[in-house]
């Protein structure tokens, strides 16, 4: 039992930070409008500056199996680049938000908004932008793919790091100040180490969405021009277009291999290493076996020496006496200058808001008709129906399975790893397979494409249910056995209330992922035929393919609104309630 405990304590510790409870505030609404306004401004002013979309001279893709290792390598390197960029962004963004109260007031809600924008919808803009900056160059297409993956990871990582920077234990902070560490030293020796577990965890968790986005972004059609960056995603897309089932299968296997390598070489050693930086004492991680990669690192002299050199160099940089010594706890500055600054601050913010509102309204009125907006909103409800329906279906299947798996520590540990793996696998690689089936049997795409939105997202639910069931207090289960509580009563009174806080975390994540997946799921290609289901995802996908930017923008904004409103009105209050009433402390 204890072994299983330690395995999960890592994730559950973070699952509480995964979901900061914020409720809809006026600031969120104001910021949403500011974001839209600035986006309109950027779109209308930068758009004309960019040249016409010139697809780069990409080398033709081959379906030969010998090409696959090369493509797999390219896909993995793209992911690595995106991770690096996300990491740099995270450090800058989270640090700024944690250090400046004023900046935090904008940056933190902004993360919520960014997290609800469907990343795939974004693709139309990033491709147009980067190909406009680098017309006809491979660089443009590559950057667009990497940037899109970045947008799927960065917000989550930044919000995780912000949480941990804000929760540095007070006594450690005092010790750092008391022993005269400078701001720079304190950052590297106290604050960054505190953030490492959350950083690693969030990076690992955002890989799931990351692979999904990456394979999608490798083969996009923007403005009727197909842009295929060599990689696994484009390989599978090409195979689907040529109805080559064998090549699709080979692509799937290659993806599996890439994910395995990532997990073994990058994340397992990182997780073990990061456990050193966990703050709660008394948790033994002896259960964590040393991964073979770490062992190899330790045993291989040249690797060890270079890693040691790297670490000690970082240590040296971290202990440079840059900045001033940290003085006494801040006292609120003189009231007068404070209020003046405050007024100025709100004044500027108000000005930005008003001009953003004006921009948005003007653009909205000139570009869209009421009928069009209505049409898009109706499409949104179609997709909402899909997402909610599939959430229910997935819950019906996975909650019992998850409970069954989670209550047995051995089963739980095994299942946990497999599910983690399934979650990381980009479900959209399977979409062509399903499309082939739908075409072959002449089924209705509206109905049969629906499960695809949950194909990748369902694992979040299973994941959290296993976590919840395995941390359910054994004593309470024994009480149930003792009084022979069975059947529906057992589910209703004993196990379900215990796992609901966990389950809701999973549902929140699954719902977000499902909305994003809808873009890929509601419009799938097999051969020359494109299957379409009614919905907002299909609308955005089609507008992207046609290169109709203002329609894409409308679709993306409406979808983001659906996600945000769903979060604010349903998931947040529910989780809030569950954490207050049902959390077993």
Partner 1 sequence: MTPAPSTTDQTPGHSTPLVEARHISQSYHKDSSADLLVLDDVNLTLNAGEIVGLLGRSGSGKSTLLRILAGLLEPTSGEVLWKGEPLKGPADGIAMVFQSFALFPWMTVEENVALGLDAKGIRGEERDRLVESVIELIGLGGYENAWPKELSGGMQQRTGLARALVVHPDLLLMDEPFSALDVLTAENLRTDLVELWSEKKLPVQAMLVVTHNIEEAVLICDRIMIFSSNPGRIAHVLTVPFAHPRDREDPAFRQFVDHIYALMTQRAPIVSEADLATGVKPAAQPAPAFVALPLVSITMMIGMMEALAAPPLNGRADLPMLAEKLQLELDDLFPLGESLELLGLAELEDGDILLTNEGVHFVLSDLEERKAIMSHALLHHVPLVKMICTVLDERPSHSTNAERFREELEEGMSPDYARQTLQTVIGWARFAELFDFDEEGDRFYLEDDGAE
Which residues here bind partner 1, judged by CB under 8 A? Answer: 169, 171-172, 174-182, 185, 189-190, 193, 196, 276-279, 281-283, 319, 321, 325-329, 331-332, 581
The two tokens of residue 200 are: 């690693």
99 vs 581, beta carbon nearer partner 1: 581
C-alpha span between 477 and 473 (Å, rounded)? 7
127 closest CA partner among 240, 234, 225: 225
Using DSSP's 3-state secondary structure scheme, residue 398 falls into helix
> Closest distance between partner 1 and the C-beta of residue 185, in Å?
6
264 closest CA partner among 291, 245, 290, 300: 291
195 vs 379, beta carbon nearer partner 1: 195
193 vs 480, beta carbon nearer partner 1: 193
> Closest distance between partner 1 and the C-beta of residue 304, in Å?
17
> Closest distance between partner 1 and the C-beta of residue 200, in Å?
13
> Closest distance between partner 1 and the C-beta of residue 283, in Å?
8
Instruction: Answer yes or no: are the C-beta atoms of 264 and 291 closer than 8 Å.
Output: yes
Using DSSP's 3-state secondary structure scheme, residue 227 falls into strand
C-alpha span between 134 and 42 (Å, rounded)? 18
190 vs 540, beta carbon nearer partner 1: 190
Instruction: Answer yes or no: are the C-beta atoms of 195 and 165 closer than 8 Å.
Output: yes
C-alpha span between 178 and 181 (Å, rounded)? 8
> Closest distance between partner 1 and the C-beta of residue 191, in Å?
11
Concatenated DSSP letters for 191-242? IHHHHHHHHHHHHHHHHHHHHHHHHHHTEEEETTEEEE-SSHHHHHHHHHHT
Tell how far CA 513 is from the center of its chain.
8
> Closest distance between partner 1 and the C-beta of residue 497, in Å?
14
126 to each of 131, 148, 542, how far by Cα in Å?
A: 8, 7, 16
C-alpha span between 396 and 500 (Å, rounded)? 14
Which residue intervals of 368-408 are DSSP H helices? Answer: 370-406
The two tokens of residue 399 are: 């909650």
106 vs 172, beta carbon nearer partner 1: 172
The partner residues of 170 in beta bridges, in order of sequence, read: none
Instruction: Answer yes or no: are the C-beta atoms of 406 and 468 closer than 8 Å.
Output: yes
> Closest distance between partner 1 and the C-beta of residue 101, in Å?
15
C-alpha span between 205 and 209 (Å, rounded)? 8
The two tokens of residue 401 are: 């399975």
282 vs 371, beta carbon nearer partner 1: 282
> Closest distance between partner 1 and the C-beta of residue 574, in Å?
14
70 vs 308, beta carbon nearer partner 1: 308
Burial of 159 (0-12, 13-18, 19+ CB in 10 A): buried
190 vs 405, beta carbon nearer partner 1: 190
C-alpha span between 269 and 263 (Å, rounded)? 9
91 vs 421, beta carbon nearer partner 1: 91
> Closest distance between partner 1 and the C-beta of residue 193, in Å?
5
178 vs 347, beta carbon nearer partner 1: 178
Within 8 A by CB and 6+ apart from 569, the residues are: 24
> Closest distance between partner 1 and the C-beta of residue 169, in Å?
7
417 vs 581, beta carbon nearer partner 1: 581
> Closest distance between partner 1 and the C-beta of residue 312, in Å?
12
The two tokens of residue 487 are: 């059947």
């Amino acid at each position: 039992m204890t072994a299983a405990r330690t395995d999960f304590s890592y994730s559950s510790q973070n699952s509480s930070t995964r979901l900061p409870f914020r409720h809809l505030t006026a600031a969120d609404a104001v910021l949403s409008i500011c974001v839209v306004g600035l986006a309109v401004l950027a779109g209308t002013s930068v758009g004309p500056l960019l040249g016409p979309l010139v697809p780069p001279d990409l080398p033709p893709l081959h379906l030969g199996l010998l090409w696959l290792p090369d493509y797999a390598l390219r896909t993995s390197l793209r992911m690595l680049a995106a991770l690096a960029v996300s990491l740099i962004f995270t450090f800058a963004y989270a640090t700024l938000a944690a250090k400046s109260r004023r900046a935090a007031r904008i940056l933190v809600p902004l993360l919520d908004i960014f997290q609800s924008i469907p990343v795939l919808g974004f693709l139309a803009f990033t491709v147009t932008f980067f190909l406009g900056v680098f017309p006809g160059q491979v660089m443009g297409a590559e950057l667009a793919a990497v940037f899109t993956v970045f947008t799927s990871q960065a917000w989550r990582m930044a919000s995780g790091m912000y949480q941990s920077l804000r929760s540095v234990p007070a006594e450690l902070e005092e010790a750092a100040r008391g022993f005269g560490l400078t701001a720079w030293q304190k950052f590297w020796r106290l604050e960054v180490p505190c953030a490492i577990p959350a950083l690693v965890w969030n990076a690992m968790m955002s890989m799931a969405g990351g692979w999904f986005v990456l394979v999608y972004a490798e083969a996009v059609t923007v403005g009727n021009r197909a842009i295929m960056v060599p990689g696994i995603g484009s390989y599978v897309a090409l195979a689907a277009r040529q109805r080559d089932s064998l090549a699709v299968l080979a692509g799937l296997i290659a993806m599996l291999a890439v994910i395995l390598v990532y997990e073994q070489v990058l994340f397992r050693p990182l997780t073990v290493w990061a456990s050193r930086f966990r703050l709660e004492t008394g948790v033994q991680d002896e259960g964590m076996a040393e991964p073979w990669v770490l062992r190899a690192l330790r045993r291989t002299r040249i690797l060890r020496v270079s890693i040691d050199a790297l670490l000690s160099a970082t240590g040296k940089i971290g202990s440079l006496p840059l900045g001033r010594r940290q003085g006494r706890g801040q006292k609120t500055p003189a009231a007068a200058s404070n209020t003046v600054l405050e007024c100025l601050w709100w004044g500027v913010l108000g000005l930005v808001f008003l001009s953003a509102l004006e921009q948005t309204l003007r653009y909205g009125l000139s570009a869209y008709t009421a009928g069009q907006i209505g049409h898009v909103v109706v499409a949104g409800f179609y997709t909402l129906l899909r997402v909610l329906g599939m959430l229910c279906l997935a819950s019906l299947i996975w909650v019992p399975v998850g409970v069954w798996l989670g209550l047995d520590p051995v089963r739980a540990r095994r299942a946990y790893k497999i599910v983690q793996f399934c979650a990381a696998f980009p479900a959209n690689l399977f979409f062509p397979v399903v499309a082939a089936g739908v075409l072959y049997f002449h089924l209705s795409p509206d109905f049969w494409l629906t499960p695809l939105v949950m194909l990748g997202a369902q694992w979040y639910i299973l994941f959290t249910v296993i976590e919840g069931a395995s941390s359910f207090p054994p004593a309470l289960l024994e009480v149930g056995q003792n009084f022979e509580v069975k059947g529906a009563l057992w589910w209703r009174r004993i196990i379900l209330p215990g796992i609901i806080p966990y389950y809701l975390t999973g549902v929140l994540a699954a719902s977000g992922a499902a909305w994003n997946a809808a873009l890929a799921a509601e419009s799938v290609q097999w051969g020359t035929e494109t299957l379409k289901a009614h919905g907002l995802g299909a609308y955005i996908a089609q507008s992207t393919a046609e290169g109709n930017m203002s329609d894409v923008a409308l679709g993306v904004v409406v979808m983001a609104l659906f996600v945000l409103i769903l979060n604010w009105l349903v998931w947040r209050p529910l989780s809030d309630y569950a954490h207050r009433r049902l959390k077993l402390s």
